[in-house]
Chain A
Amino acid sequence: MAEQTRQVTVETPQRATATAKPPPPKAGPRRGPSLRWLAPTKIGAIYVWIIIIVVFSIWAPNTFPTIQTAKTILNQNSVTGIMALSLIVPLSARVFDLSIGYILGISTVLLAYLIVETSLPLSVTILITLLAGVLIGIGNGTIVVPAKIDSFIGTLASGALLYAVIVLITNDQPIASMRLEGDIAKLSGTSIGGIALPVFIMLAIAFALWWLMEHTVTGRRLYATGFNEEAARLTGVPTRKLRFCALIVSALTCTVAGIVLLSQIQSASPEIGPPYLLDAYAAAFLGATQLRPGRFNVWGTVIGVLLVATGQTGLSQIGAPVWANSMFTGVVLLLALGITNVERGQAARRWVQGRRRRGAPAPTSS
């Protein structure tokens, strides 16, 4: 154990240069496993994040390194954050939900429609919207589990159906009305210490999902279902039920994101949802390279969202052209996944070499 730790900390510098600044603070070689948390393998994105902050702070010293920027990044990315978090449960169970962009869209449009066209109290309209989200999740689950349609294609198709409904409701025109600037807008208008309520909603969801994935039986079983469904099934894991429920979780979470989104922009355009799809997937996959490499996890995903958001905010502050944002997202994602692959290959090789050196060729333990 000690030996492995040492290898990681000693060997990091050379490799770290590719992505990150100098390695974690010097560690006595025999320090406990806590230091492994600082290895670029696990938190490379944080190093990259720090570099980005440093670079933009030098580039735009008057505007970037301010509290205001930090608040802006948080406040403006809560919807993306919630969207990315919504993917953790289905992706862990190896189910793709490609309809999330349209679920975001339909919940925004539906809530706007209910507020503008009916006189129901806000709480009731929100409740109806959430209920619709659950129903969409049940629909997706039915497509993927009992009907056995591959989730990738199935949710692509259900997304198309949802879009049809969106156009039906909106008549392909954005819904805009004074009524959308009323109570619903207070949701995002409220802030505590300059941090808007949606950020806290995102954090609450993050904590709930973190608890679910890391500290409950269900979380463990979701990972098992995703990694090896047959083995999980033979161990008594209700894999079908979990895959079904995973799609309800993602649909419901996206609906929350839709409600937040409406309160922020106070209008509902039929095209509002889909652009969030890519950013959400990017953050979730980036997150899967962090903290618990190979697993979709909550805090890795949050780091992914913040990393991408910081870069995009910085780029806009230095007046970079519009295309730079997407380019940035793409490059970060490719780098993160590429580096993880290289790291993993090296870790495997180190492990084999370590074994040989110790003169323990036969792979029995102890």
Chain B
Amino acid sequence: MGSVPGQIDTTSNGTAPQTGEPGGGDVRAQPAVSIRHLSKTFPGVRALEDVSLDVRPGTVHALLGQNGCGKSTLIKVLAGFHRPDPGAEAWLGGERFELGSAPGEVAHALRFVHQDLGIINELDGVDNFSLSLGYARTRFGRVNQRRELERAQRLVERFGLDLDLTRPLAEASAVERTIIAIARALAGWERGEGVLVLDEPTASLPSTEVRRLFDVIQDVKASGTAVLYVSHRLDEIFEIADYVTVLRGGVVVDERAVSEVTPRELASLIAGQETGLERQFLHKASASGGKALFQVRGLRTATLRGVDLDVDRGEVLGVAGLLGSGREDLPYAISGARPAAEVSARWTIDGQTIDRLDISSALDLGIALIPGDRAHESVLRELTVLENISMAMLPRLRGRGGLNQRRERREALEWMRRLEVAEEHIDRPIATLSGGNQQKVVLARWLWSEPKVLAMSEPTAGVDIGARQALYESLRQQAERGLAVIVCSSDIADLVAVCTRVMVLREGQVVGVLEGERISTGAIVSATEGADG
């Protein structure tokens, strides 16, 4: 643990992959790709620091870490979208190449399947191949449909994909589209050349389809192609990877053979014991003997299968779970943001019980939602900070003769002061603010409307560390004043930092509740994974 970056020689760890599959049995002299001393600095942020990495042919090498650990920066540098700081060196199959050169420059040996797959759903499979591989033409310059189809079929054949390639890919399943993208990236590598980089390939896959993707990846590996597999999901690593490199805060914290590490160890490597974010216990809400302020019973949606939830005044309830556990669905479902027909539950708030909740009645009842996708769901980019802050309060700012703009400005300024957003920003478009400040504005918007319950999804996504602390602090204060808060986050640091109780979801059901002292990164990780208890 805590090994020096680059300490990945054959001596420190057992290098022989545990499987005896062809191509993976021996340590080959040449790693398919090597990186040394890669650092990348963005204005004010050190995204990567002295990172070294070797990926060997015929192995699956996982790159693991939380959101914001530098994984995506590393991939973008490899893909040529970012230029690294001076001093970085890299080799492809023993040949020197320059990191951060134009995208596509090194496509002969390094290919990518990004998270969005780069697939055009409206086009058929053949066209999706041809768009990136070039069209075969007949002698008269017409596109040679037959040869196109043959090539496409040949490329997917090895993966046993049974799909009509002449139909739009929108009709295919998510995993089939992923396989198409992989097959396309591997075109011309039938003999197992090169390095294939898969960036979070399971992120948008239903859990039932993940297995099929893994079979394909095994296939690729068996052919001899090296696979760099980027993920933040622990469970997958043990299924698919031979080696794992863990990144935290832009630094390689360890590199291991997967066979030599336990899930628990790996979890603590990912999260780190010291997150720099102090855990502060809230005063436990004085159990007012009886019903909690906010109760949801039997919550069912497409992903949630009968969840019960209680939050009282002064409590911060955390909701943990892997992608697909229903965690990302929960805040929307309980706050009326989903179409009422897709959610069934019974809500009780402040003694009032209802069976059906839409967004406007939720707001009337004092249930507020801070959505997870800031750009699409909460921030109005073109409007000013003032207009963004007052958005939820508008009905209550009606004066005689329209909107009471004097009061609006005065109280908005007051909220900006409270959440430490510089006052000079008030009339600027909110898009000019950093992610952290935008999130503060969004928080101000909802706190101003004085809700009883505040549900948050991914409260710190894209928020820098300083603003995080400020956000946590504001949440704590509000809870102490009697707000009931629900924090749903994939970032375990959020949960550890602010929650009084953490509810863990797996496959749409509550599988555990951690309270008080028992809330820790390790405990949350094991509960979400279901790994050894």
Contacts and interface: CB of A to CB of B under 8 A. Distances in A.
B264 interface: no
Interface stretch (A15-23, A166-174, A226-234, A307-315): A226-234
B466 A364 contact: yes
B434 A236 contact: no
Name, among B369, B377, B379, B405, the residue most crowded by chain A CB atoms within 10 Å (CB to CB).
B377
Interface in A200-245: 211, 215-217, 219-221, 223-224, 227-228, 230-238
Interface string A176-216: 00000000000000000000000000000000000100011
A356 B420 CA distance: 22
A331 B124 CA distance: 41
B394 A220 contact: yes
A363 interface: yes
A221 B433 contact: no
Interface string B413-438: 00000001110110000001111110
A365 B420 CA distance: 9
Nearest to A351: B432
B195 interface: no
Nearest to A233: B359
A231 B433 contact: no
A362 B43 contact: yes
Interface string A319-362: 00000000000000000000000000000000100001000011
A221 B360 CA distance: 14
A365 B422 contact: yes
B378 interface: yes
Give the interface size bracket for B toward A.
35 or more
A58 B325 CA distance: 74
Nearest to B382: A227
Contacts of B445: 235
A227 B371 CA distance: 17
A294 interface: yes
Nearest to A232: B380
Name, among A216, A217, A231, the residue most crowded by chain B CB atoms within 10 Å (CB to CB).
A231
A365 B437 contact: yes
Contacts of B395: 217, 236
A366 to B, nearest CB: 4
A215 B433 contact: no
B464 A364 contact: yes
Name, among A230, A237, A364, the residue most crowded by chain B CB atoms within 10 Å (CB to CB).
A364
B383 A361 contact: no
A230 B403 CA distance: 23
Given A216-B403, A217-B397, A235-B445, A228 B381 contact: yes
A219 B401 CA distance: 13
Contact of A238 (B360, B403, B433, B437): B360
B281 to A, nearest CB: 27
Interface string B241-254: 00000000000000
A294 B382 contact: yes
Contacts of B436: 363-364
Nearest to B396: A217
A356 B43 contact: yes
B296 interface: no
Interface in B273-313: none
A307 B1 CA distance: 71
Contacts of B359: 233-234, 236
Interface in A230-283: 230-238
Contacts of B45: 362
B407 to A, nearest CB: 13
Nearest to A355: B43
A233 B339 CA distance: 12
A155 B132 CA distance: 38
A222 to B, nearest CB: 11
Contacts of B390: 220
A236 B387 contact: no
A302 B307 CA distance: 56
A362 B376 contact: no
A202 to B, nearest CB: 22
Contact of B392 (A1, A211, A227, A236): A236
Contacts of A230: 376-377
A366 B420 contact: yes
Interface in A112-134: none
Contact of B422 (A217, A223, A356, A366): A366
B143 to A, nearest CB: 30
B381 A234 contact: no
Given A234-B359, A234-B378, A236-B363, A217 B403 contact: yes
Contacts of A294: 382
Contacts of B464: 362-364
Name, among A216, A351, A362, the residue most crowded by chain B CB atoms within 10 Å (CB to CB).
A362
Contacts of B435: 363
Contacts of A356: 43
B87 interface: no
A236 B392 CA distance: 7
A350 to B, nearest CB: 12
Interface in B361-408: 363, 369, 371, 376-383, 387, 390-392, 394-395, 397-398, 401-403, 405
A221 B391 CA distance: 8
Interface string B430-472: 0011111100000001000000000000000000101100000
A54 to B, nearest CB: 34
Interface string B154-190: 0000000000000000000000000000000000000
Name, among B380, B397, B398, B401, the residue most crowded by chain A CB atoms within 10 Å (CB to CB).
B380
B337 interface: yes
Contacts of A365: 421-422, 425, 433-434, 437
A237 B377 CA distance: 13
Contacts of B403: 215-217, 219-220
A231 B369 contact: no
B44 interface: yes
Given A234-B369, A362-B464, A365-B425, A221 B379 contact: no
B379 A231 contact: yes
Name, among A223, A231, A235, A351, the residue most crowded by chain B CB atoms within 10 Å (CB to CB).
A235
A173 to B, nearest CB: 47
A228 B380 contact: yes
A165 to B, nearest CB: 37
Given A215-B402, A362-B466, A363-B437, 20 more contacts: A215-B405, A217-B398, A223-B380, A224-B383, A227-B382, A228-B376, A231-B371, A232-B380, A232-B391, A234-B337, A234-B369, A235-B445, A236-B360, A294-B382, A361-B43, A362-B44, A362-B45, A362-B434, A362-B464, A363-B434
Interchain residue pairs A-B with the least CB separation, the first 10: A362-B44, A363-B434, A361-B43, A361-B44, A366-B422, A215-B402, A365-B422, A216-B402, A236-B363, A217-B394
Interface of B: 43-45, 337, 359-360, 363, 369, 371, 376-383, 387, 390-392, 394-395, 397-398, 401-403, 405, 420-422, 424-425, 432-437, 445, 464, 466-467
29 contacts: A1-B424, A215-B401, A215-B403, A223-B380, A223-B387, A224-B380, A224-B387, A228-B381, A230-B377, A232-B380, A234-B359, A235-B378, A236-B360, A236-B395, A238-B360, A351-B432, A356-B43, A361-B44, A362-B45, A362-B434, A362-B464, A362-B466, A363-B43, A363-B434, A363-B437, A364-B434, A364-B437, A365-B437, A366-B421
Interface of A: 1, 211, 215-217, 219-221, 223-224, 227-228, 230-238, 294-295, 351, 356, 361-366
